[in-house]
Amino acid sequence: MSNKEVKAALKSARDAIRNKEYKEALKHCKAVLKQEKNNYNAWVFIGLAAAELEQPDQAKGAYKKAIELEPNQLLAWQGLANLYEKPNQIDVKGDLTDVYQKLLELYESGDKQKWCDVCNKLVELYHQEKRYLEVAETWQKLIKMKQEEGAEKSELHQLWKKMIHLLKDSTSTRNQDNKTGQLLLTAFEHALDSADAVPGDDHQNLYKDFIQCLSKFPHEVARLEKACQDMLALYPTVSYPLEVLCLHFVQSGTLSEEALHCFSRLLEMDANSGPAIIGFGVKCLKENKYREAVKSLTEGLQKTNQCPAAWRYLAEAQMKIHEHRNAVLSCNQALEALGTADGPNLRWKNLVLQLKAETLIKIADADAAEEAINALELIVDGSSDPVVSALRGRAYLNKGLMDEASKISQELLLSHPDLAEAHALEGFIHYSHKNYEQAEKSFLNAIERKAGTAEYHQYLGLTYWFMSDETKKDKGKALTQFLKAAKLDSYLGSAFCYLGNYYRDIAGDKSRARGCYKKAFELDEMDEESGTAAVNLSVELGDMSSDSDLFELLQVEKNSSKSQEVSQVLQVAGVETFRIQNLDHPQSTAEVNFGKTALMLFQALFISSQNSGVLSAASQFPGLGECYLMLARSALDNYLDRKAVDYIEQALEYFTRCYGRALKLMSLPSIWCDLGINYYRQAEHLTATGTNMNEISELLEKSLQCLKKAVRLDSKNHLYWNALGVVACCSAIGNYALAQHSFIKSVQAEQINIVAWTNLGVLYLVTGNIEKCSVTMSGSSTTVLSLVLQQAHEAFKIAQSLEPSYLLCWIGQALIAETVGSYDTMDLFRHTTELSMHTEGAKGYAHWVCSTLQDKANRNTELYLYNIVQMNAIPAAQVVLSKYTERNPDDASAFTMFGFLNECLNLKQQAAYAYESALGLCDEAIEVYTSIPLTEFDGIVGLALAYFKKGLFEESIKAYEKALSVAESENDKAHILTALAIIEYKLNKVDAAKTLLFKCSLKEPSTESLKALCTLGLVQQDATLATAALKELLKHEKGDDGIYERCLIASAVYALQGRNMAVQREVSKAIHSYPDNPTLWSLLSRLVPLYASKKLKEVLLNIAVNQLAAGCHMLEDKKNNPLKNIQKAIHVCPDNPAAWAVLMAACHAENTVVCLNNTEPKRTGLEMTLLSTVSAKTGESNLPHNYVRTLEDWCLCQAITGLEETGKLSEAEALCNKGLKSCPEHPTLFLLLRQIQCKQLLQSHRELPDNILEELRKTVMSSSSSAAAWQANVSNEHWPSLVQEATTEALKLSPCPLAALLQALLQYNRKMGARETRRMLERVVYQPTNPETIVSVARWYLLQHLYAKDDCELIDVLIKNAKANGDVRALELNEKLSASA
């Protein structure tokens, strides 16, 4: 065939294929091949025809032959790809992959679209085969191609997201390579960078997926942390990144500052966050606070239970406090959460299994031992771990398999002679066989290698305890080991039990033995031996120091035959518990409760003795009297003076009837001590009344001799030594060496002696100092203290460790902190007020609160926000000062601070009374100042100020002139000249005052003098003087210091000049610079109505609106209020529709106020009339359409609200429907309609249908930017979460007092008696800017809460607040509650 014939045959073959005549095509191709066997097109056509004729092998061979001939031609490769893509082709994926790769190579420089199509197919093929690395690399080539073509950002974003989708399963494969993971993370980063809507929901979800993916890569810690921080920066309210970070820190066991900050931030965002609570639990565990750790971890795991590391930490904490069975359950939960462990989880699984085995071994029974052996078998490579082998040996020992345990012990000692566990196992084996000598050696070897294990010391102590007759006689070695065990593990109850045995049976110290038994019983309530021993010793000692002893006695002995002993203990407790009262004895809540309990027991015994004659009724009177005295002392400590008087009167009744017989006493040390204390108290009383010093000295000497006599008769009684120390260190005696010696002896006699340690600290605190040293105070930086202050700090610190709730040692620490200028001072004083009321702590805390409030430069600091705002410091300090001033009515400084705090709480009357009380003490101040020679500047100024406050101006001038002569700094001189100018002005000597202020301004003027000069110009209407002073003042005073006063003075000067626009502009300019200053906004709101308009009608209207916004009403001021002013405005201009709208708002406000005060509203039924009037006035005016529409809409909503609140729900609903007919898309009207409908259903006491709630929810969401919409409260008991959500959203939009009130009421409904309830209600009540209508409701509920808590002092404060604000409802409620109480 010629070339022409070949071409014709190929054309015929192509036409045949086109006509689907495939056999005919084959004939033509074969004819061509006979002529040209290497004809490329003929082979391609054969492949195509054979494929269609279902002859795949022939087709495949033809295509491959063509490819051999022309490997870079497309047709054969395309045909081969189409052949392999047919569904009947199997096992060709590998070949198809090669074909796609060749096609990509051929298309790369040509048809880009086909290249992309083939690339998609290849990626899909790789994905099916889970070849994720090839998927990633190929898809990345596709994206690169698109980038080179200039694809849109959105298209690239979708491609990166598709890559993420393709690779998302790669993280779950075990054999995932690092390169694939890196490509996946790169895809996430590109997808995040290319997102359009940032921030947005899709972007946020993508970030979550990215972080979740990163958390699966253990080596990407830094990248994970950065991603979480970046997401937090974009979405600060989303908790997910913080939760991931917290779990990451928990899993890694990291407790860095960053981790702790992360936990704290997440808790602030969500107080119920499981990961954050778990994190703090891990922190407590690391700090050896095991009980707190158990509590936090348990709470956190209830919310986030799929955290195996947290379960493991919980098990560890439970094991530390010897809750072994709970620890086993926690280990099981950890193993369940781990599932099939591999990779990093395998390490966790091994740790959990080992911990579980250790815990089961501690349980020490056969079943637990078997389970421990099974757990150890599951540890991967456990057979090569010697510690695991030692545990297996102990499990065999517990199971009774001695041979197996001995074999393991011998092998370990040979292979690991330095392993403590190996020697311990040998010791346990010898101990179980009672081979105590060999056991001693083994335990000593174990302790030598691992001295910090309490169990080794305990068993060594047991070995010494049971060893031989000699050690039985002298158990000193056993005591040493038990003490070490107890010190190393304070939760080891058995060690305390044997310490009790030692002190009871060997040392004969029953008091200390009882303490050890009690500790053992507290640690292990199943330890009946310790509980019974503690009870028996309490009976023998006749000392029931707390009600816990009594109830433990009843619990342990209730089923025993010792009921007779119980009765004896009750009798002895009543008579002996309070016999010896040491000075400043700590009064804990437990002791007060025991006082009440003992009182009831005495009364019960007294009644039973009268009926049965078993006991002498008269013998109960002293005990009853002692009980009443203890309760009186508790009342005094809590500043409940009237209640204390009642208790004392009842005590005297019992004492006078029967206690006289007890005066015929033998020479007992307790009586000598009582007599010595009596003399001391008499001396105290005489000192307070200013009696002759000789008599006082005589009484103190008698007191000292009596106490010395008591100490000689019984030198082991710590109470006598303590009393002797107190008397010796009083200022009239001043024998500090004896005092120190006495307190040290008291501590030696009783180590758990918080009173003596505290008294010792006070002694060191008030004495002098010489040497300097460095000491670190808890919670503060290293501070240079004197040696004596260090000793005081250490003494107080020991007292705190013995009894953390003892008040006086905390006051001592606060005074030390104040002495060295520590930042912790205020926090320490605050803590003292929370523990109990004390004059020193109360005044100290109030002083620091007032000082902090006066420093306006620190308002935005973290220290201020915590100490003042978060700790609710102002009302707290006001409460303690009210108690302080009642007890100390002669302290002028306390009254001054009390007035300042009342002023901050907007209690004007109480503030005025406090200031007047302080001023009433000026005579005493003058008397003190004049009784001493005054040479120092501060003393002279203090006298001058006292004269001024008293009104003695001439004497004040002389004192100030004397101070001026000794003043060193120009600033002090300027202040004195200003003070002299004020006095001259008071004496009507204006020219003299002006001269002094000019003299001050010529030298180095202070801002105070310039303000005084400017004010003088304003008062005298001297615009020139005022302007010049203001100009100078503005040069010297910059920034936000005194910005309000500066604006006020400047505005007054501009008003004097007649520059009305400048008045408004000055304040507006300041607000632009300081938009968060509320006082500036308040000033502007008062100035705008007066100076922004020249028309009287506009002024009156603006004033009325401003007063309404400020919450003013007729009960506050009957002459100047919104209703009066708007009535005047309407009288001046009756055609202004806005004035009629404001009248509607004013009437509604007045009706609301009178309803809250339990009186009938006077202006009812005006809604429809006023609404019609506004519509008529707008129709007559030429106002803009939008303005008219807005005004009419507002009036319609106001009218509907008024009808709803007066109970006219049907009329309100009809008016809503009428409004919606004219404007069906009005969201506010629709919301009001839904609220009214829901209210009608609620009043019918039927449960709200789901469809109604759904409609309300949709309505609220349609008005999501409105705070009022979120306040649409469904007050159904099944929907508290809906109320919480709605009010939270409202508070996000604006600082809304009503939403804060609703949240407080929700907390009240949840838990009325909680402290958080009181705090939330107090924030509403004592916030000066809150409207009185809202405050009145909060006050009503707060009063009920305080009566439920029986908090008389806070009730008094609240009632004063109610009287100051004219809250009739609260006062009536108080009368009812007090009558029922």
Q: Which of 19-33, 50-64, 536-550, 1214-1228 has the lowest average pLDDT?
A: 536-550
Interval 48-63 mean pLDDT: 85
Is 721 in contact with 759 (CB distance < 8 Å)?
no
Structure tokens at 967: 């003043």
Instruction: Note the pLDDT tens digit of each residue in 355-411.
Output: 888 888 888 788 888 888 888 888 888 778 899 889 889 888 888 888 888 999 898
Instruction: Note the pLDDT tens digit of each residue in 421-463.
Output: 999 999 999 988 888 888 989 989 999 998 888 888 888 888 8
Structure tokens at 890: 């002669």
What is the rounded CA–CA span in Å between residue 673 and residue 704?
Answer: 10
Q: What's the pTM?
A: 0.42
| pLDDT band at residue 1160 using 50, 70 and 90 as cut-offs | low
Interval 2-15 mean pLDDT: 81
What is the rounded CA–CA span in Å between residue 775 and residue 988?
Answer: 58
- Residue 966's nearest CA partner among 943, 986, 991 is 943
Angle at 540 (CA atoms; ends 535, 542), nearest 5 degrees: 90
Give the residue with greater pLDDT, 1261 vs 956.
Answer: 956
From the number of C-beta atoms within 10 Å of its C-beta (0-12, 13-18, 19+), residue 1352 rates as middle
The SS3 assignment for 701 reads helix
DSSP 977-1039: HHHHHHHHHHTT-HHHHHHHHHHHHHHS--HHHHHHHHHHHHHTT-HHHHHHHHHHHHHH--T
Residue with tokens 């305990």: 458
What is the rounded CA–CA span in Å between residue 838 and residue 210?
Answer: 56
Question: What is the pLDDT, as a whole number, of residue 846?
Answer: 92
Question: What is the pLDDT, as a whole number, of residue 724?
Answer: 92
Backbone phi, psi, residue 1266, to 5°: -105, 125
Interval 1248-1259 mean pLDDT: 62
The SS3 assignment for 712 reads helix
Instruction: Note the pLDDT tens digit of each residue in 75-103.
Output: 888 888 887 778 777 777 777 778 877 77
Amino acid at 392: R
Structure tokens at 521: 């019983």
The residues, ordered by sequence, that sit 6+ positions from 1303 with a Cβ below 8 Å of its Cβ are: 1284, 1287, 1288, 1291, 1320
Interval 1141-1166 mean pLDDT: 78
Quick check: 1003 pLDDT over 80?
no
Other CB atoms within 10 A of residue 651 CB = 20
Quick check: 628 pLDDT over 90?
no
Quick check: 721 pLDDT over 90?
yes
What does each C-alpha distance from 1071 to 587, 1036, 1053, 1080, 1290 come to in angstroms?
Answer: 53, 20, 19, 6, 25
- Residue 382's nearest CA partner among 359, 349, 429, 421 is 349
The packing angle between helices 1297-1310 and 1280-1293, to 10°, is 150
Structure tokens at 426: 């040998």
Question: What is the pLDDT, as a whole number, of residue 844?
Answer: 92
The SS3 assignment for 774 reads strand
Question: What is the pLDDT, as a whole number, of residue 1081?
Answer: 76
Question: What is the pLDDT, as a whole number, of residue 726?
Answer: 92
Backbone phi, psi, residue 775, to 5°: -145, 145
Question: What is the pLDDT, as a whole number, of residue 941?
Answer: 85
From the number of C-beta atoms within 10 Å of its C-beta (0-12, 13-18, 19+), residue 404 rates as middle
Question: What is the pLDDT, as a whole number, of residue 722?
Answer: 92
Side-chain half-sphere exposure of 1092, counting CA atoms within 13 A? 17
Question: What is the pLDDT, as a whole number, of residue 1058?
Answer: 84
What is the rounded CA–CA span in Å between residue 1189 and residue 1219?
Answer: 12
What is the rounded CA–CA span in Å between residue 9 and residue 15?
Answer: 10
The SS3 assignment for 454 reads helix
Interval 900-907 mean pLDDT: 86
